[in-house]
Amino acid sequence: YFVKVAWAWTFWLLLPFIAVTTYQFAESKFLYGPTKSILMVLRRLSALLVGTAVWYVCTGLFMYIENLTGMCSTSGKLGEPRRLYATKQECHQDNGIWDSFDISGHCFLLSYCALMIVEEVAVLEGLSIDQNSKLHVVINGLFVSLCFLTMIWVFMFLCTAVYFHNFSQKLLGVLIGLSAWYGTYRFWYLKPFSPGLPLPNIPLSSKKYSYSR
């Protein structure tokens, strides 16, 4: 039941973490004013909206494929006309067993959530905060919570890999999760019109230029 709402746990922990760290980084490192810092925070928070869209579309697609490829096996009485079932829910209402190609939504979501958390917490590498401040305690608390959540996701991923679905269903779920992560953090978020990477989001070419100087 915990993994069924995995995106909700990830979303509500990343929301304050991204907001606080982005604002602090924009204000202290880039010397942005309050207005520009808030705009930067809103831009980065839109990554959570992208993640929500990815979760919604992919899980909807998985359910569509499961219903499209499924057949229902029921223990009906002899002589009764065979009923056709359109969805898994209809089949379960008649105590049937739905046999279909069920892409592992757990493998998809757990891999995507874990990779997204790892990408976002990397911002702490360049963030300096007074260790005696309340903000330092808040950020550390969120960081520890996100690390603990990632450990849970990895553990549940291993449980799914051992006990649920067949190999092709699990592999396809993981590949879709990896594709969602790569398509956002390694491709789209490098573009100007995107939520952007966690600060400091300096392109590789700019880093090489600064090193050469």
**Residues with a known catalytic role:** 106, 165
Query: Per DSSP, what are the bridge partners of residue 97?
Result: 73
Cα separation, 196 vs 190, whole angstroms: 6
Cα separation, 114 vs 152, whole angstroms: 9
Tokens of 181: 């992560």
Q: Cβ atoms within 10 A of the Cβ of 63, count?
A: 16
126 and 200 Cβ atoms separated by less than 8 Å: yes
Tokens of 69: 């490829």
